[in-house]
Amino acid sequence: MTNPLLANFDTAPFSKIKPEHFLPAIKTAIVEAANEINTITNNHDTPTFENTIEALEFSGQRLDRITAILYNLNSAETNPAIQEATQVAAPLLAEHANDIILNEKLFDRIKKVYEHRNTLALSPEEKTLLDKKFKSFKRNGALLAKDAQQKLRKIDKELSELKLLFSKNVLADTQAFSLQITDEKKLKGLPEAALESALKLSQEKHKEGWTFTLDFPSYHAIVTYADDRELRKKMAIAYKQRGFQHNENNNEELVKKIALLRLERAKLLGYQTHAEYVLEERMAEKPQKVMEFLDQLYEKALPAAKKEFKKLQDFAAQNGIADLQIWDAAYFTEKLKKQEFDIDDKLTKPYFQLDKVVEGVFEVAQKLFDLNFIKTSDIDVYHEEVEVYKVSDNNNRFISYLYLDFYPRTGKRAGAWMTSYKNQWKKDAKDSRPHISIVCNFNRPTDTKPSLLTFREVTTLFHEFGHSLHGMLADTVYPSLSGTNVYWDFVELPSQIMENWAYERETLNLFAKHYENDTAIPISYIRKIKEAANFMEGLATIRQLSFGYLDMAWHHQKDFSRIEKVDLFEQEAMKHTLLYPQVPNTCMSTAFSHIFSGGYSSGYYSYKWAEVLDADAFELFLEKGIFDKKTAQSFKENILEKGGSEKPMKLYKKFRGRAPKMEALLKRAGLTKKIN
């Protein structure tokens, strides 16, 4: 049987790939990659940047492509066979990675090039690559004794398996829950589109009434609009119990094991904590700096958050709820926003048809960066709902392929993310362009309505599109420095700055048209959206900071011996940020995928960190004009194209002319005004 994953291909041949193709292909590609490493180490010539560093950088490319397809499918279109393939592949890949990183002959060659770095005529990107390769080996055990290296191998193998199991359990709990309602009276307050979707789901499952799930559109509709408080409570608790139930998907022991193994690994490498290890290669540099940053924002946001919470409590009391709970938060926030600004999602959703928003996002990219998007049916996809666009510039130069996957379904994890099926790189006079994907979970079209977005979902799409621009516009030589391969506390700048455009009148006028009659969104709505942008910002900031504190509690911990119950540890870490009463038998850590199965361990603070960067950066656009070509060109050339080819702060200063200032964020969030 011919394995399509081992054939030469440009775009992924999804329709030809079967789950059973992955393991044979990965095993073959591992052998191929190992042979490429042997070619480097068996070279008797003096180690040079070209025959060692560059050769290492371009080794294992087939393996990288195959694993990218596997892991992306495991997130967006998984099934038991793919999950099993991923679980079996993970330790093989971890072992292969360690075979490289702990290869003495290879490290010896890298070290020799590194020691002579000051005598080499290297470009800034080449210097970055050399520094990154050397540090990567050093930080992953190349200098350890043999027995310590073996221990490291064992830890890495176990971590790779545990992280996958964590994700699998969260997905299983998410998809196991469904809420069937047969009494229509219980559904009072829900938008018509949410009811249609729930009715359609019941019909597909051959059930009576309406079916709701923990997929975000369904979950969000209940907790935000359902007048039935018990319904909101049931949905909110189910969401907060993922990975924390007495079933086979329980993640409590996994959380402790992952955190403990990360600590053991860090200590093995000479660091006191996992956070200390991680942050050495971040803009923040040290855990103390992260804690100072979180504390500084906490001090600014807490007074505003307390005032907002009291206001919400009073409003709920006026509406018959004396004990405001977490499952009341979104509901009364939406009601109060409606009262204060005369605006809510029900009013604005008809103007945010998904197809039109996508067109609007594309037009923003055209105005800023001269990008054009042409839908194509020539590219293979992994699901019939996925759309592919060929992206080019005004000179008709091919830039990228962009995959769009918008609707929830079985086998697709919750949330929204950008990912890559192929990085950008340059070699042998060829500029190999990237293949980027945006994956979301928006409301499906119904029999009577197209997919309509809340304004929050509009900003989500702009956010992920910002990440995709970072990937699509990459213009570096080396794949490991391309696109979003940057410090984790810098990666959110392109995504978060894009959200700003969604609030601007010039942008909304491009796409916000009523789905029934194509009338433009009223100027009064735009003004109110802008005015409401900071609504409950203090509470939102404290909530985000609570996640950062929890992340640091798990990963800047030196001793796990006394941690028995995950929920109690979590409560202690977050207690100073909690304004709502604690909900018994719930836990966030057991479904906190960002830090336990994603790349954000010791890095969740970076969302707020990047807000400082994006607020400061967008101020320049506001000064010059939000579609000012010169400013956009500078952002493209200094941030989007450069990837991780230079230090983030150096790139930022090239764009902004100075270091970022926190004042821009505080001003935008309205926190200074609320405190004074």
Q: How do residues 251-261 score in pLDDT, each as one tens digit?
A: 999 999 999 99
Specify the 3-state DSSP secondary structure of 43. coil
Does the pLDDT value for residue 89 go beyond 90?
Answer: yes
**pLDDT recorded at residue 488:** 85
pLDDT tens, position by position, 483-524: 999 998 899 999 999 999 999 999 999 999 999 999 999 999
3-state secondary structure of 612: helix
Q: Please give the Cα distance from 115 to 52 (Å, whole number).
A: 13
- E strand residue ranges, 261-397: 371-376, 387-393
Q: Which residues of 52-63 are buried (b: 16+ CB within 10 A; e: fewer)?
A: bbbbbbebbbbb
**Contacts of 545 by beta carbon, 8 Å cutoff, 6+ apart:** 294, 297, 298, 301, 577, 608
Interval 278-317: pLDDT, tens = 999 999 999 999 999 999 999 999 999 999 999 999 999 9
Residue 1: pLDDT over 80: no
Residue found under tokens 């093995």? 268
Q: What is the C-alpha separation between 563 and 568, in angstroms, rounded?
A: 8
Distances 135 to 105, 106, 132, 141 between C-alpha atoms, Å: 16, 14, 5, 10
How far from the centroid of its chain's Cα atoms is residue 434's Cα? 18
Domain edges within the chain: 4-143, 177-240, 350-537+606-675
- pLDDT computed for residue 676 by the predictor: 35
Residues designated catalytic: 464
Q: What angle do CA 11, 12, 13 make, to 5 degrees?
A: 110
d(CA 412, CA 79): 9
What Å distances lie between residue 604 and 471, 550, 561, CA to CA? 21, 9, 24
CATH class, domain 350-537+606-675, is mainly alpha
At residue 117, the pLDDT reads 96
The average pLDDT across 654-671 equals 92
Q: Which residues pair with 181 in a beta bridge?
A: 210
Q: Under CATH, which number does the domain 4-143 receive?
A: 1.20.1050.40
Tell me, what DSSP letter sits at residue 475?
Answer: -
Percent of the residues in the chain that have a pLDDT greater than 70, as a whole number:
99
Query: What SS3 class is residue 420?
Result: strand
Minimal CA–CA distance to 417: which of 599, 279, 554, 242? 599
